């Protein structure tokens, strides 16, 4: 497993651990959905990433107390998540299913949640939560007439109405349009900045990349990597790193770079060089030095395969 | 009991086609009682008591409780909305208590008046002999026991309706009639026993298989046991639609 513990809370043994899974497995009959997964999460946003059927929702549901681990433990704030309804005082959970109570208005739905959380001012808390997801205009309409994206936002409002320290979201961007995604992303970033632990599952790489640097990558029920995905990429020494280099004289720079030990491939394009190296950090340090020695102005030096997509692609193919 | 869950459950029933079904269901015995009154009668006490036993206690009571009890929590579990109630710091016993209270209240508000009205129509012109009050209390106790059992089924299996129908028509309708010992595991027999205990009508007119105070005790034990198990089951509720 690739672990980039220095990069953030995912995978680290942070002092502010709020969610901890230890050797967790879950099976259904002979089918193993999650296999011996361990991680510790603290404040910040963590994306639970994996192909469909990888076990993301199973892990999220175990963390939310809605699935019993067949083996191992999942703890929330050092207490078992399973059969512990009291933990919901600090936890908000947004399920993937679209179903809501169609006969309730948006406001009544959030108010229901606020009352069940036992808040002292449920009406005020509901108004604030609805405002946070920008749904005031539709709050008096029945949920039965809401679009999928609107339901998603109301579900988030109902989950954050009690100001939880931990928020678990299962595929939260399903059905949302780009504007709604931006709004939701901003909300989750704001909540993370306030010190909350936010974990969301997704199979859409763009969503995860925009929202979280820290990821737990699940493939076929196993945790194959955790931490900052860029750091995970750098740990993959068996895979060449690719840089795009632009300079005042690409041809001459290409010749100089090839001579460096960290470089094992240079491709000369129309406007830039594509350089392949086995040593990310060494090359990043060497390139400016080499350019300077040749009297070439280095205009751009960009790692190009550090996107979550490339990291994910490498991990899935392993 | 959690009043928010109680109110939510009442609203769920009000907005469902099940409430229309309930209206239709309870109109059946009243209609039949009216038709019965239009004919000639040798013994109104015997015929009315047996009408209430055969139509209300045997069919209408369990069916009404089955419709309401299995959907009180079962429909939320089925469509996934149960999570909005369960992902809250609310003790599971409070949720079950609220679901039970709401569904039993609605079932009783349909079945008990239907029993009283049907009984009064059937006994018009003769003394009541405790038949109406006996069956009214019997159906009320029956509502509590059946609803508790069907709520348990709804949290224990996704095929609660099927198992419920099996219990009512195969166990109670067939097996209990064939093997007398099984009457101790039949809510229908408890209800009939309670009606018999309260009614002052002669044994020739109406006699239950379980006409002793045990009927009360057994109904209470079954209801309490079912609710206890339902709470335990709900405490271990799992979301199964995961990848």
pLDDT tens for each residue of chain B, 243 residues long? 899 999 999 998 887 677 888 889 989 999 998 988 887 777 888 888 889 999 999 999 999 999 999 998 998 998 899 999 999 999 999 999 999 999 999 999 999 999 999 999 988 878 888 899 999 999 999 999 999 999 999 999 989 999 999 999 999 888 888 887 888 899 999 999 999 888 877 777 677 777 678 889 999 999 999 999 999 999 999 987 655
Task: Give pLDDT, residue B36.
Answer: 84
- In angstroms, the separation between the Cα of residue A263 and the nearest Cα of chain B is 42
- In angstroms, the separation between the Cα of residue B5 and the nearest Cα of chain A is 8
* Cβ neighbours, 10 Å, residue A318: 12
- In angstroms, the separation between the Cα of residue B83 and the nearest Cα of chain A is 8
Q: Search chain B and give the residue with CA nearest A167.
A: B87
- Helix, strand, coil % in chain B, rounded to nearest 5: 80, 0, 20
Q: Search chain A and give the residue with CA nearest B86.
A: A85
CB A39 within 8 A of CB A60: no
Partner-chain contact A104 B11, CB within 8 Å: yes
Partner-chain contact B11 A83, CB within 8 Å: no
Helix (H/G/I), strand (E/B), else coil: A6: helix
Nearest to B87 among A52, A88, A103 (CB): A88
Interface of A with B (CB under 8 A): 33, 52-58, 61, 64-68, 83, 85-89, 91-93, 95, 97, 99-104, 109, 112-113, 115-118, 158-159
Which residue pairs, CB below 8 angstroms and at least 24 apart, start in B201-208?
A: B201/B45, B201/B46, B201/B49, B201/B129, B201/B130, B201/B131, B202/B45, B204/B46, B205/B43, B205/B45, B205/B46, B205/B49, B206/B45, B206/B46, B206/B49, B206/B50, B206/B53, B206/B131, B208/B53
Residue A99 DSSP symbol: -
Give the DSSP H/E element, type plus range, for residue A247.
strand A241-247
Q: What's the structural domain count of chain B?
A: 1
- In angstroms, the separation between the Cα of residue A185 and the nearest Cα of chain B is 23
Which residues of chain A carry a pLDDT beneath 50? 5-14
Nearest to A103 among B11, B79, B237 (CB): B11
Angle subtended at Cα A214 by Cα A211 and Cα A219, rounded to the nearest 5 degrees:
105
Q: Search chain A and give the residue with CA nearest B15.
A: A103
Domain holding B136, by residue range, is 3-242
Q: Search chain A and give the residue with CA nearest B2.
A: A116
Q: Search chain B and give the residue with CA nearest A97.
A: B80
Q: Between chain A and chain B, how many beta carbons pairs sit less than 8 Å apart?
A: 86
Contacts of B2 in chain A (CB under 8 A): 116
Nearest to B92 among A85, A112, A118 (CB): A85
ipTM over 0.90: no
Q: In what order do the strands lie in the sheet with A214-219?
A: A2-4, A222-228, A214-219, A44-49, A197-202, A166-170, A91-94
Partner-chain contact A87 B90, CB within 8 Å: no
- In angstroms, the separation between the Cα of residue B8 and the nearest Cα of chain A is 8
Task: Give pLDDT, residue A236.
Answer: 65
Please check whether residue B242 touches A, CB under 8 A: yes
Structure token digits, residue A204: 């859409």
Nearest to A99 among B12, B80, B242 (CB): B80
Task: Give pLDDT, residue B211.
Answer: 64
Interface of B with A in 22-41 (CB under 8 A): none
Please check whether residue B2 touches A, CB under 8 A: yes
Task: Give pLDDT, residue A317.
Answer: 67
A212-268 pLDDT tens trace: 888 888 888 999 888 887 777 666 666 778 888 999 999 999 999 998 888 889 999
Contacts of B243 in chain A (CB under 8 A): 33, 52-58
Residue A7 DSSP symbol: G
Contacts of A65 in chain B (CB under 8 A): 87
Interface of B with A in 88-127 (CB under 8 A): 88-92
Partner-chain contact A93 B87, CB within 8 Å: yes
Which site among A28, A95, A202, A204 would you substitute to test the B interface, given the most B Cβ atoms closer than 10 Å to its Cβ?
A95
Structure token digits, residue B172: 């109670």
Task: Give pLDDT, residue A3.
Answer: 56
- In angstroms, the separation between the Cα of residue B146 and the nearest Cα of chain A is 26
Rounded to two decimals, the pTM is: 0.84
Task: Give pLDDT, residue A318.
Answer: 61
């Amino acid at each position: 497993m690739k672990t980039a513990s220095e990069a953030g809370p995912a995978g680290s043994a942070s002092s502010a651990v709020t969610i901890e899974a230890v050797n967790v497995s879950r099976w259904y009959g002979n089918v193993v959905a999650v296999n011996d997964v361990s991680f510790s999460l603290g404040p910040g946003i963590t994306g639970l990433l994996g192909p469909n059927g990888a076990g993301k929702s199973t892990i999220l549901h175990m963390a939310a107390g809605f699935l019993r681990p067949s083996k191992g433990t999942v703890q929330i704030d050092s207490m078992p998540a399973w059969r512990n309804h009291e933990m919901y005082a600090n936890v908000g959970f947004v399920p993937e299913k679209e179903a809501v109570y169609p006969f309730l208005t948006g406001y009544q739905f959030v108010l229901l949640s606020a009352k069940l959380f036992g808040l002292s001012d449920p009406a005020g808390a509901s108004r604030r939560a609805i405002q946070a997801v920008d749904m005031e205009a539709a709050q008096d309409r029945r949920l039965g007439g809401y679009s999928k994206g609107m339901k998603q936002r109301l579900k988030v409002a109902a989950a954050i109405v009690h100001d939880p320290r931990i928020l678990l979201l299962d595929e939260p961007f399903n059905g949302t349009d780009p504007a709604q995604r931006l709004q939701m992303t901003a909300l989750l970033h704001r909540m993370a900045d306030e010190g909350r632990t936010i974990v969301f599952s997704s199979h859409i790489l763009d969503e995860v990349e925009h929202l979280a640097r820290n990821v737990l990558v699940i493939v076929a029920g196993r945790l194959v990597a955790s931490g900052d995905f860029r750091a995970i990429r750098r740990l993959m020494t068996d895979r060449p790193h690719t840089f795009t280099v632009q300079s005042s004289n690409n041809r001459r720079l290409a010749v100089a770079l090839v001579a460096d030990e960290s470089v094992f491939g240079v491709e000369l394009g129309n406007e830039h060089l594509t350089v392949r190296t086995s040593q990310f950090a060494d090359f990043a340090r060497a390139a400016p030095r080499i350019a300077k020695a040749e009297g070439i102005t280095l205009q751009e030096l960009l790692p190009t395969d550090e996107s979550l997509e490339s990291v994910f692609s490498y991990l899935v193919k392993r | 009991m959690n009043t928010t869950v109680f109110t939510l459950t009442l609203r769920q029933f009000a907005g469902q086609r099940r409430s229309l079904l309930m209206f239709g269901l309870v109109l059946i015995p009243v209609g039949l009682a009216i038709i019965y009154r239009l004919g000639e009668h040798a013994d109104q006490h015997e015929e009315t008591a047996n009408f209430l036993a055969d139509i209300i206690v045997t069919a209408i009571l369990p069916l009404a409780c089955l419709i309401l009890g299995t959907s009180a929590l079962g429909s939320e579990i089925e469509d996934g909305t149960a999570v909005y109630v369960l992902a809250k710091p609310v003790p599971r016993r409070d949720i079950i208590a609220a679901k039970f209270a709401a569904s039993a209240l609605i079932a009783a508000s349909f079945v008990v008046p239907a029993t009283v009205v049907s009984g009064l129509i059937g006994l018009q012109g003769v003394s009541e002999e405790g038949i109406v009050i006996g069956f009214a209390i019997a159906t009320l106790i029956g509502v509590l026991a059946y609803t508790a059992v069907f709520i348990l089924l709804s949290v224990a299996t996704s095929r609660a309706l099927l198992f419920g129908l099996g219990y009512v028509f195969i166990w109670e309708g067939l097996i209990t009639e064939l093997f007398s010992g099984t009457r101790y595991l039949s809510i229908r027999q408890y209800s009939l026993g309670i009606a018999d205990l309260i009614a002052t009508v002669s044994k020739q007119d109406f006699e239950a298989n379980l006409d002793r105070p045990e009927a009360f005790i057994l109904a209470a034990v079954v209801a309490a046991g079912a609710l206890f198990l339902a709470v335990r089951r709900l405490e271990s509720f799992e979301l199964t639609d995961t990848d």
